[in-house]
Structure 1
Amino acid sequence: MLVLTRRVGESIQICDHIEIKVISVQGDQIKLGINAPKDVDIHRKEIYLSIQESNNEAASVSTNILERLNKSLRQ
């Protein structure tokens, strides 16, 4: 993991298209601004993990349905 120190108003550049800027620091909260192309999905980590879990559940459900359908067609 790369750890960088930035002050309010300073930024971090990722590749050519993503900039993360420190907007403010208040106590234990940091506000970040992110400039990125519209096609780049940006989520808080807990939301990202929830989306991944939902996608995995949906994929396993559809696999089960396809297996049941396949068994029904064989009979």
Structure 2
Amino acid sequence: MAPPPGVGPASLRFAAAASWLVVRRRRVEHFPRVLEFLQSLRAAAPGLVCYRHHERLCMGLKAKRALLLTQ
């Protein structure tokens, strides 16, 4: 079965770069999208990022979002 059009290494790179830019610029309103990307990446390629790093990334983004939204 062929992958859907637009899903390939280039599109994953683009999504990863956009997610990194969101985190670097601390665009808290887009953190849920970054979390969604991390979850889908974990489902698509489970061995790409080790479990501990994945969980620490997700926890950190959730904590930062909660902290910045309360200020």
Provide the TM-score with structure 1 as the length reference: 0.30
Q: Which has the higher contact order (CA 8 A, sep 6+)?
A: 2
Normalized per residue, the structure richer in helix is 2
Bigger-Rg structure (1/2) = 1
Normalized per residue, the structure richer in strand is 1
